[in-house]
Structure 1
């Protein structure tokens, strides 16, 4: 196949040029698959033990709180030590927690608080390892391949997001809770293998200060770097103002008679659009203005959701949600490219932690906002108003941050508009 025919598809060059990245991606993909299988399992187990929506909601809280509370401190720690060693430690911790969940799944008789406590500790190790892993792609790949590497990460995650819950449900029905948790524990073995062969990855430049001072340095960088700040604000605006997932059941009941088939289509359309955009991301990852791509992607996400709120044809709605999912994925790839190519290595752990906090808090707050607005008005009103607010917020960020629109990634040197290496 000619090079020209390959160009529309995802850029696989990092897999060919970097064996270390290839091993890391394989381990990460298997671990993400195990994680989604475990997520279905813990939701099933907690509901089976309690039949309480409050306890089911506590599962999300046990996952999100460690990242929100400890993420920046974990990022500061990652900016003081060998990121490879920190990631390996966190991976072992997550594997042990999954193994303990498997043991309680086989033995039973563990209270729901014990299950949630193990899940929270598991999430603490994830909060430790996430900022350390944030430096892997820009340290393993040349700068011109960073966007392609992030796109490969994105497409693997989205594919596992579709496959993992379905496979988890099948294993649950076939072998039970303990086996699902055990498979998740084994998946961390591959993640450990993927990272074990990496070279030491200490920070390049001034190491983070300890405690609150290191966190404050990271926040100072975020406040002062207009491009990175604009990227994170854009993502936060898109998720907080227009996250649609909590509204789908209500809109389905209001507009489409509550048919479960249309509800299933709506919930899968965003993911299918995202996977399609990742698979066809080759041209996007080669563009030299990722900030402009991100702004257009976030704006298209808001516009598509606003139009979806006005429609009564389910197939047209399905098409708009495909567009929304594709736009969101394009925006996410571009945002990650901006963060990882504009942030000095010595600060990348803390900035990655902030990105993870935005990724955890934004969708949850967005679903809460959507539910509250829908309770006061209607599901369609919540969708339309959220999409329009997202468009306005993206327009404001774009007009007030010209560096975000104009800055190009420089393959051979620092990004245009980058600030000094340390606060």
Structure 2
């Protein structure tokens, strides 16, 4: 394989104006998101000194994510997705402004941190399904793997630069600088997102309802290969997501300077995969790739918890991020290549729960286990539990392992009915449609 064949496939960027706007808006806003991603748990650690208090962020975020993620999926099928994304972006900017205001108080309070985490989770639950549901409308069927890699690359650029810069900003300019830059990132994202074409619902779309949400859940349950992607990712993140422990791990390794690098190592590993993702379009056994990548994630986290050298910790965290990216590319490809457009928003809501509920619960597991044992034990033991859990799920869901995009009936049906970007996408929806937003 030539080095050129490893380069990212830029076909989605070249073929769709709205994909370019989507990607650019996301690049701006993801940078600010990762500043807050580091600042919020660090501020909570400084105010409480408790691993449980930091891990509890996951619990606070989970309830709103479940409720609003499912409802947001139904909204994405029932209303203009661009409008939904824009208003959500405004709400997220106001939440970031609230965090800045609390930090500027003479005595910052703890409860606004939890409130901001819960509100951000709720608004993200509304916004993310619309973002995900737009992509198959504007990208050709055979370019969806490339689009997933490019979108992830955008996220990872911010994920590497944001945490690394956050560590320096917080150390030398304070938490308020990180929050302020997050607020400004929303302004840039809104300017770009405003230029994106409308994305109205199908002419026969039904208003959001519990029965509509249940319809999406029944469809997901009937597709065991999709169910496998959800459960595999939940297991991997539940058992082996140690981010809540990074501030404490840096202290134990006597490497406080490495905190930002720890947060950046996961997206850096992901970026290495995205930056060499030209091979992804030639893979057809997507389910098998998801399983192998999840096993690699757990194994890498296990080793990261066992080694004492901070550079080795960073190396294996980077490796775990690479494995997570491989899993993410092929999970996204399976979803986008096989789910009907009329169910896409609701299934995107379920997808949001699958790749978000695990990390939120994983923070609680990591923090709670660390309080009962130790920080290092919580990391390596979680990695081992991930390997065991993923292995058992793979055995229980053979349709995930056997999935092949060349023969799967749902992939073949979706390929035959795909609408070329620029043509009428769904009923009354005309032209390209996309939007940018939070990662």
Q: TM-score, normalised by structure 1?
A: 0.81
The residue aligned with 1:72 is 70
**Aligned to 1:217, what secondary structure does the other structure show?**
helix
Conserved 8 A contact 1:403-1:417: no
2:367 and 2:409 map into 1 onto residues whose CA distance is 46
Residue in 2 that maps onto 1:304: 300
1:406 is aligned to 402
Question: Alpha-carbon deviation of 1:31?
Answer: 0.6
Instruction: Write the distance in 1 (CA, Å) between the matches of 2:413 and 2:401.
Output: 11
Q: Distance in 1 between matches of 2:338 and 2:241?
A: 27
Deviation at 1:308, TM superposition (A): 5.0
Confirm whether residue 90 of structure 1 aligns to residue 88 of structure 2. yes
Q: 1 CA distance for matches of 2:178 and 2:258? A: 27
**Are the equivalent residues in 1 in contact too, given 2:289–2:326 (CA < 8 A)?**
yes
Give the deviation of 1:321 after TM superposition.
3.7
Question: Does structure 1 retain, via aligned residues, the 8 Å contact 2:58–2:363?
Answer: no
Aligned pair partner of 1:280 in 276, 283, 291: 276
2:255 paired residue number: 260
* 1:280-312 deviations in Å (ceiling 9; x for gaps): 122124312222211111122223334555656
Taking a change above 3 Å as real, the CA distance of residues 307 and 46 of structure 1, as seen in their structure-2 partners, is closer
State how far apart, in whole Å, the 1-side matches of 2:268 and 2:83 are.
36
- 1:382 offset after TM fit, Å? 5.2
**Other structure's SS at 2:411 match:** coil
Cα deviation, residue 229, structure 1: 0.7
2:219 equivalent among 221, 232, 252: 221
Q: Is the 8 A contact 1:281 1:330 kept in 2?
A: no
Quick one: higher RCO (CA 8 Å, sep 6+), 1 or 2?
A: 2
Q: Please, what TM-score do these two structures have when normalized by structure 2?
A: 0.79
Quick one: which of 353, 366, 373 aligns to 2:349? 353
Report the alpha carbon displacement of residue 228 of structure 1 after superposing the two structures with TM. 1.1
Q: Alpha carbons of 1:411 and 1:84: their partners in 2 closer, same or farther (altered >3 Å)?
A: farther
Give the SS at the match of 1:79: helix
State which of 327, 338, 342 in structure 1 corresponds to 2:334.
Answer: 338
Deviation track 1:22-64 (CA, whole Å, cap 9, x = no partner) reads: 111111111111122234444566667x456476566555544
Distance across 2 between alignment mates of 1:373 and 1:57: 10
Counterpart CA distance in 2 for 1:371 and 1:390 is 16
Deviates more, 1:316-325 or 1:126-135: 316-325
Q: Deviation at 1:139?
A: 1.4
Task: Report matched runs for 1:364-375 at 5 Å.
Answer: 364-372=360-368
In the alignment, the residues of structure 2 paired with residue 82 and residue 15 of structure 1 have an alpha-carbon distance, to the nearest angstrom, of 23
CA deviation vs aligned residue, 1:209-230 (integer Å, no higher than 9, x gap): 5332222122212211111111
Question: Residue 21 of structure 2 aligns with which residue?
Answer: 23
Within-5 A mapping of 1:2-401: 4-43=2-41, 50-51=47-48, 53=50, 62-102=60-100, 112-114=110-112, 116-118=114-116, 120-171=118-169, 180-204=178-202, 207-208=205-206, 210-245=208-243, 258-260=253-255, 269-308=265-304, 319-372=315-368, 385-401=381-397
Query: How far off its partner does 1:184 sit?
Result: 2.4
SS in 2 for 1:134: helix
Residues 375-399 of structure 1 deviation map (CA, whole Å, 9 limit, x = unaligned)? 6666666555544443343333334
RMSD: 3.8
The unaligned stretches of length 5 or more in structure 2 are 418-439
Q: 1:307 to 1:120 in 2, by over 3 A?
A: closer
How many residue pairs were aligned?
413
Q: 1:249 to 1:90 in 2, by over 3 A?
A: closer
**Conserved 8 A contact 1:249-1:263:** no
Q: Give the corresponding residue for 2:411.
A: 415
